[in-house]
Structure 1
Amino acid sequence: AWTAWRAAWRSIRHERKEKRMGFGNDYLQEERKAELQYWLSGDYESFCGKKKEIYLAAGKAIKDAGHTSPGHSPGGYRNELKYAGDLELAFRIETEEKKFRSVRKQLPAPEYAKWLQKLVRLRNQYARTAGFENYLDYRYALWGIGGDVFARAASRQRKAEKTDSMELRRWLGEVSADHRLAVENQRALFREIDECWNLNGSGIQIHDEDLPGFYIGACVPVSIPDDIHVLINRRPGLSGFSVFMHEIGHGFYYTNIAAPDIHGRREPFNLIMEETVALLFENQVYTDGFSREFLHTDRGMWLPKAEFQLDYLLCCAEFEERIYRKADPDFDAEWKAACAFTGEEEGDGWTKPHFFVSNPGYFAAYFIAAFLAKETYRYADRESRDLFDFIRNEICSPGGALAYEAFLEKVLP
């Protein structure tokens, strides 16, 4: 009895310590609950206010505990960094971002440049308060992105054969007319896919009616793995359905893959692997196997969709690498240099991609994930493996633990 009481008391003290340190599920779950309400209602002001309250409380708990890092495994999301540094400055930056996003498409390039330059300086200033040289280093550390993974993927992509996007666009126009891809039929199509691929999708709550129209899709894991929400403003055609499947891929990651930590909780997540899995789902609808099984046609494209945007994503990631590591970057010159480095056309320029304003660093994360998704297809094809069998039995060990390093060795040797 004494042994049992002592063990119970140690457990209670550990839980209390975790709450003081801010690494329990409380702060994350409260933020996710607020985020879910935002996606359902579109009320950004309430979400931002609630998030600031949560972050300030978490930051104070970490500071009071004198703790800086719980020592996550390679590739793991470092939640404690969300609450690091000068959080008042962080939310000043978020307010500035929100104002910028609302007007950026109407701004002439010189005014756009001044506003973006101000954001870059503020972000780098915040990063230094959190112990990092610049904001990209901070974001990469937060998401668990090692520089070697980005460099390896970038080097491989620069040597890759380019994809003809015109062929993909012509094919999309033909296949998207299929009646099964009409908005009213997409839920039934997903149920068929769920059963065929054994996705365990019944644990995902899908919201697809009366949503704000400013986004296409989102996935919010309030509690992993049993309270997962996919929100989707459905669009017709294969491209619209691929976005739906991308968000389902996020849900699959949380219900099937997200690795438990040492206490058995499924935190923290791995951003690169999560986006890789989501992109595998998104791109799977372009394959010949999907076309035969669910659309009853032999018009699948297999790899081109997985490869289509890789050079563009790499170009944008390279642009951010340049502008965050210089004191006063010339955006036009840096965009030209990034395009030349990656072999990408200059196109509409650096004012078009919204992630430069809304989510810096995400282009690098998305590029790595898209590259790994492509290489996963190639690996499964070389080994004559079923894609989802490979995910379940080689990316993950029994019980859902994620073998991140082993996965990189298989698809990014």
Structure 2
Amino acid sequence: MPRTATSAQDAVLSGESSGTLERGLTVVRRLAEAPECRLRPGDLARTTGLARATVDRIVTTLVRLGYLRAESHDVLLAPRLLELGNAYLASNGLPDAVDALALRLADRLDESVSVCVPDRDGARFVTQIPRRRALAISFRTGDLLPAERCAPGALFAADWGEAGWELWRARLRSDSDGTGFPALPARRPARAPGQEADFESRVGRARSAGWALDDQLIEPGLLAVSVPVRGRDGSAVCSVSVISHTSRHTTASLAARALPGLRVCAADMEEAIAAPVTGPAAPVVPSAAPSTAAYLRATKDELGPDFLQSLARGLAVLASLRAPGGLTLSATAEATGLARATARRALLSLRQQGYVAVSPDGQRFTPLPRVLELGYAAQSRLTFDQIVMPHLIGLVRRVHDSATVAVLDGDEIRYAARV
């Protein structure tokens, strides 16, 4: 397809800022994939292929923004990184529309229930409700599974065009064991060469039956039945799955028990997703938004070349896309306090890297599920004390005295953490 003048201009504009932003996001992804989400700067340089000086500037910028934290000789993800994934979840409205319905289904069946969205050639969790006392593997919001290793993947692949299939085949040729999916448990060696035909066959059955089965594809003993939840255009917006174990069900008994409730739940989800938003609209532009650009300029003046302003601006733009249905370019610029041209370059760069989509009319920008790969799953595992302890330690170092965090328990207080 020939490139239009507009698309060529967009490519030039995105190229102006994409390099720094892309390198910064690469550093975040590598940390998210690392054990305990921490690495030394030297290890980051080796795993990303970036120069050590570049890594140091990226780390300095992300630490100053609160997305990373420096601890001894290590760099690790910080809880503020969750705001990027939260922007995606808020903009698509799926959790608000489906979480209560998924919880009701889990209670009714006494089984685990999950909701996934399609993400390139995989399926990414946006809701996971584990059964009480469940021994089966549990995933977190943001975890990504390859399409061929889960029931939702067969449902989503039923909507793929030739480009989607080619993307999947190329990835399978380069990574047949799924090593590029950190959420996957360790598994037996790769399947026989018939893996591609096996998946295509399962996709055909899912397309014909309207539901899909996971018979221990993820790990031995784990079973799942999934049905699609479709949008107004008929494509699968997400899938809802019931997950169990071979100690409780066979594939036939799980399908017989779960499918009636799953179909009702999916229909209710489709109705909830299609329902117009009622009540007062949430403000699109935060009242203190213009201070974002001012803060970045002041920080650049303070830190000089060690602070990568284009990286900071790109992340500010991504975090601003929280409104249902996304934001226009003008609203994005207003929400961040950035110039329209600056906001546009950041949006085009994020689109080029697969984190943002533009509406068919070219007017609104929305985050894509890939945003959740930026540490969301890892950070959602943090406990309360893991979140507050670094802040307490920093406070103690500044005031040279003890510090505590307490919560209200009735008419008393209960200490939750102390340094």
Structure that is richer in strand per residue: 2
**Which TM-score tier does this pair reach, normalised by the shorter chain?**
under 0.3
Instruction: State the TM-score, normalized to the length of structure 1.
Output: 0.26
Instruction: State the TM-score, normalized to the length of structure 2.
Output: 0.25
Structure that is richer in helix per residue: 1
Higher RCO (CA-CA < 8 Å; seq separation 6+): 2
